[in-house]
Amino acid sequence: MIDNRRMQEAIKKAKLGQELSARELFIDLVQEDPNNKLAWLWLIGLLDDRDDLILACEEVLRIDPTETRVRMRLDELRRIEKVEKERAENAALAKVDKLLSDGNTESALRHLRKITKENNKSEIAWSMLAKYTNDLVEKERALARLYAFDPANKEKKEALKRARYYRENPLELAVSYEENGEIEKAIKVYESVSAKAKGRSEWDRLFREINRLRGLKEEKIVHVSPKVTIARLTLGPPLLFLFMLIAQVGYDFRYISLLMGVEFLLVIVGAFLVALSTAGSENRIWKKLGSVGGRGSKRLRMLVGAAGVTLMFLSFALLGLEAYVRWLPLLP
């Protein structure tokens, strides 16, 4: 009876335009009885805050899912909320892009952290955070979030796996940055590791690496891609083999046999394997062979290098044997 009297009073105030007083009464009623559908319906017309309106609509639909008009209102409120969030997020990301183009990476990272905190479903923000942060734990967390968006994506799975590997082996990450010409990032990794150095000898070693990289940066030494280095190292043995082959056939290419062609291809493969193992740089081949960091362990590189040397040795040996057989009748 008391509740009915309070309900009638709240409705009367609402009809008279006393919205604040009516709203307070209706709020008291739903706090006492969360299943008071009529009070929730009146609150939908009295509330101003969109979050509160969404809550009121959800409560009405919880009590009575057949309220079609309330469902339509809720859908519209959520649509408006989504549009406004996307607009605000796009503006924030545009600001991040501007900060990054101006070189203000730290400010950009602060904005990205704020965006991901407010909307942990922003794939773009998480992707940018994973790309630009130097904090290995934060990078792993961002990549884990990206992988959660698309668990079937093999590239995201590999990226997360690499991030976890580099978190445990940060010096490998520093070397990877250096190989790709990202000297400043490599320096920051060394600085981060040196702050946790366990002894003076380790700290001295890291400090020498930092000074070396700073020297490279100041001298503005042109970065050479690992791919170019491998290609350059691969080129020598095949060229030598080709010159020896041409000399053997006396510049008469009719005498080049299928076996010689196979030998030439084996020299190319062998030279590539030796160059790959010597450079020790990051390469997808090492990943295929099971190296998470993509650089290959010392033992693995030695095995690959030995295989390359074997292929080249066999090819040159066979070419020498063919030359011996060819010129044997001419020997006294």
Question: What is the model's pLDDT at position 207?
Answer: 87
| More confident call, 72 vs 191 | 72
Which of 2-11, 57-66, 78-87 has the least mean pLDDT? 2-11
For the cut 60, the answer to whether the pLDDT of residue 156 exceeds it is yes
In-domain check, residue 173: no
Question: What is the model's pLDDT at position 126?
Answer: 92
In-domain check, residue 52: yes
What percentage of residues in the chain have a pLDDT greater than 70? 94
Domain boundary among 24, 39, 66: 66
In-domain check, residue 99: no
What's the CA gap between 80 and 45, in Å, rounded?
17
For the cut 90, the answer to whether the pLDDT of residue 239 exceeds it is yes
Domain boundary among 21, 47, 66: 66
In-domain check, residue 142: no
Predicted confidence band of residue 331 (pLDDT cuts 50, 70, 90): low
Question: What is the model's pLDDT at position 133?
Answer: 87
For the cut 90, the answer to whether the pLDDT of residue 329 exceeds it is no
For the cut 60, the answer to whether the pLDDT of residue 1 exceeds it is no
For the cut 90, the answer to whether the pLDDT of residue 172 exceeds it is no
In-domain check, residue 121: no
pTM of the model: 0.59
| More confident call, 93 vs 293 | 93
In-domain check, residue 309: yes
Kindly report the three-state secondary structure assignment for every residue of the chain.
CHHHHHHHHHHHHHHCCCHHHHHHHHHHHHHHCCCCHHHHHHHHHHCCCHHHHHHHHHHHHHHCCCCHHHHHHHHHHHHHHHHHHHHHHHHHHHHHHHHHHCCCHHHHHHHHHHHHHHCCCCHHHHHHHHHHCCCHHHHHHHHHHHHHHCCCCHHHHHHHHHHHHHHHCHHHHHHHHHHCCCHHHHHHHHHHHHCCCCCHHHHHHHHHHHHHHHHHHHHCCCCCCHHHHHHHHHHHHHHHHHHHHHHHCCCCHHHCCHHHHHHHHHHHHHHHHHHHHHHCCCCHHHHHCCCCCCCCCHHHHHHHHHHHHHHHHHHHHHHHHHHHHHHHHHCC
Contact 286, 296 (CB under 8 A): yes
Domain boundary among 66, 93, 108: 66
Question: What is the model's pLDDT at position 223?
Answer: 66
- pLDDT digit string (tens) for 9-31? 888 888 888 889 889 998 999 99
What's the CA gap between 223 and 312, in Å, rounded?
30
In-domain check, residue 122: no
Predicted confidence band of residue 184 (pLDDT cuts 50, 70, 90): confident
Q: What is the mean pLDDT of residues 169-192?
A: 83
Q: What is the mean pLDDT of residues 131-147?
A: 89
For the cut 50, the answer to whether the pLDDT of residue 93 exceeds it is yes
Average per-residue pLDDT in the chain?
Answer: 86
For the cut 70, the answer to whether the pLDDT of residue 272 exceeds it is yes
- pLDDT digit string (tens) for 62-82? 999 999 999 999 999 999 988
In-domain check, residue 96: no
For the cut 70, the answer to whether the pLDDT of residue 280 exceeds it is no
What CATH number has the domain bearing residue 29? 1.25.40.10
- pLDDT digit string (tens) for 286-328? 777 766 667 777 788 889 899 999 999 999 999 888 877 777 7
Number of domains forming the structure of the chain? 2
Question: What is the model's pLDDT at position 292?
Answer: 67
Q: Give the range of the structural domain holding residue 309, as residue numbers without chain letter.
A: 226-330
Question: What is the model's pLDDT at position 134?
Answer: 79
